[in-house]
Amino acid sequence: MKVAVLGFGTVGKGVYEMLAHADGLEQGPVLVRPGKADEPWKISDINGIVSDVSVGAVAEVMGGVEPAFSYCAAALKAGKHVVTSNKALVAAKGIELAALAREHKAAFLFSAACGGGVPFLHNLSLAVLSDRIESLGGILNGTTNYMLDAMQRRGLDYASALADAQRLGYAEADPTADVSGLDALRKIMLGCAVGFGLLPVEGLDCEGIESFSAADAADLKKRGLCCRLLARGGKSASGVYAYVEPMALGASAAECSVLDNFNMARYRGVNSGDIIMIGQGAGRWPTASAVLRDLSCILRGERAMLGAGCVSGKADNSGCAHSYYVRLPAGYAGRLPVKEAWRDGGDARVITEPVSVADMHALAAELRGSGAGIFFAALED
Ligand code: HSE
């Protein structure tokens, strides 16, 4: 099957090179920006790919919703299979693209959009056929895991850790999506869509690592804790819950042994129990390997990761609550149900009684709105 590659950045270059050595797959044209088609196999007009009958599949690795959506839709309408590593695209338009694929008897697979090389969505999409999924999530962003690990284990400051993650090809073109938690949020949205048939697009709570400082790292370390950015999704009374937030874990927790750009993705099935997968969650070769795995799955007959009944809807996080570790200006500590508190200059550091996820995220937004700084991390249940 000849595969056209849309995009020739970090992942696109990896996909193109892997195609040269993959069983049953061959290199097709590569879509690049106008003016960048400096090789005969590069092309800057999508119509040249869509109308090329020798192209059987398209690997979209350009990122962003448009023009990626229009290009993928055109390819599907032309009966070509589509695989993508683009979580922004699948979170915004996945249900539409899956319907187009069904209509045109083509495949639409996106396991590379979550977990880098980790076969998380791939396994989840198989598990839902015979098991009922109760919860899913984990460490789903390689950039922030790299940064948190570098800051806590190697003492790097935030800016140097981010610069290294960008240099190593882990971060998105705009790393705000990584550090704000949005990238992990999109991934948990996809997990919920595959695992529960509901793509939550509203009611989500998202906190990244932008407020995490060297002083936070030092204080957590003193208490035998380590910080990781966790995405969580699961069945709730009225549908699904889905949120992203830092978590402070006992140093012996499995998450704390997940280093560098690695991800730790997990799901719990009623029959399987906990399934945990660890591997590189970002970077050229891990992500390209996931794109190629999806293409190989197409050769074996796989066509869909989203069920025909998948709908978009609202997350319900109202049943989710934890104790939190919080750093905030001392004058605001009374806004939380304090279990233990201590001073750190003008700030208070607080361990709370259980607080709902929605209330904790809302308090942080309110404080930031009034110019105050706050860092919070959930504590283990
Ligand atoms: N920027 C993403 C990450 C790339 O760091 O996890 C892989 O999805």
Instruction: Confirm whether 187 is a catalytic residue.
Output: yes
Question: Which position among 187, 221, 222, 339 bears the catalytic label?
Answer: 187
Q: Which residue's CA is the nearest one to ligand 1's atom 7?
A: 282
Pocket test for ligand 1, best of 141, 144, 162, 289 (most atoms within 8 A of CB): 141
pLDDT for the residue 150: 97
Indicate which residue's Cα is closest to atom 4 of ligand 1.
282
pLDDT of residue 304: 97
Say whether 75 sits in a helix, a strand or coil: helix
For the chain, 381 residues long, give each residue's pLDDT as a single digit of tens: 999 999 999 999 999 999 999 999 999 999 999 999 999 999 999 999 999 999 999 999 999 999 999 999 999 999 999 999 999 999 999 999 999 999 999 999 999 999 999 999 999 999 999 999 999 999 999 999 999 999 999 999 999 999 999 999 999 989 999 999 999 999 999 999 999 999 999 999 999 999 999 999 999 999 999 999 999 999 998 899 999 999 999 989 999 999 999 999 999 999 999 999 999 999 999 999 999 999 999 999 999 999 999 999 999 999 999 999 999 999 999 999 999 999 999 899 999 999 999 999 999 999 999 999 999 999 987
CA of 302 to the centre of ligand 1 (A): 25
pLDDT score recorded for residue 237: 87
CA angle 372, 233, 375 (to 5 degrees): 15
User: Can you tell me which atom of ligand 1 is nearest the CA of 175?
Assistant: 1
C-alpha 145 – ligand 1 centre gap (Å): 10
Pocket of ligand 1 (CB under 6 A): 116, 141-143, 170-172, 178, 183, 281-282, 287
Closest listed residue to residue 121, CA positions, set 18, 265, 259, 284: 265
Burial 62-75 (b: 16+ CB within 10 A, else e): bbeeeebbebbbbb
280 alpha carbon – ligand 1 mean position (Å): 10
Distance from residue 248's CA to the centre of ligand 1 (Å) = 21
Nearest atom in ligand 1 to 85's CA: 8
Ligand 1 atom nearest to CA at 144: 5
Which helix H or strand E contains 185, and what residues bound it? Answer: helix 182-196
d(Cα 261, Cα 277) in Å, to the nearest integer?
A: 14
DSSP secondary structure string for all residues of 142-184: HHHHHHHHHHHHS---HHHHHHHHHHTT-S-SSTHHHHTSHHH
- Cα 300 to ligand 1 centre (Å): 27
Q: Is the peptide bond before 67 cis (omega within 30 degrees of 0)?
A: yes
Residues 6+ apart with CB under 8 A from 163: none
3-state secondary structure at position 21: coil
- What is the pTM (predicted TM-score) of this model? 0.97
From 183, 261, 287, the mutation candidate for ligand 1 (largest count of ligand atoms within 8 A of CB) is 183
